């Protein structure tokens, strides 16, 4: 099995670093529904497609988390 070259999901800290905002800002975006995320245990993972859309200025694809 071969691993993908780029991640499918980013941590909140990685998103904050890539977008040059604080982790709290990323959490606010997630909780406001402006940035889709999947909860894994007690942490969140943000789909790479949403991060790419955020970085390029395109609209962020709306995805519902499992169980919503």
Question: Are 50 and 34 within 8 A, CB to CB?
Answer: no
pLDDT tens digits, one per residue of 33-61: 999 999 999 999 999 999 999 999 876 65
**In angstroms, how far is CA 65 from the centroid of its own chain?**
12
Predicted TM-score (pTM) of this structure: 0.77
CA distance 51 to 53: 5
The more confidently predicted of residues 29 and 68 is: 29
Q: Which string of b and e fits 14-49 if b means at least 16 CB within 10 Å?
A: bbbeeeeeeeeebbebbeeeebbbbeeeeebbbbbe
CA nearest to 8, candidates 59, 64, 49: 49
The more confidently predicted of residues 53 and 67 is: 53
């Amino acid at each position: 099995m071969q691993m993908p070259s780029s991640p499918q999901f980013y941590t909140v800290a990685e998103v904050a670093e890539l977008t040059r905002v604080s982790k709290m800002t990323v959490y606010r975006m997630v909780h406001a529904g402006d940035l889709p995320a999947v909860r894994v245990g007690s942490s969140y993972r943000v789909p790479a497609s949403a991060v790419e859309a955020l970085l390029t200025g395109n609209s962020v694809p709306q995805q519902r988390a499992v169980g919503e």
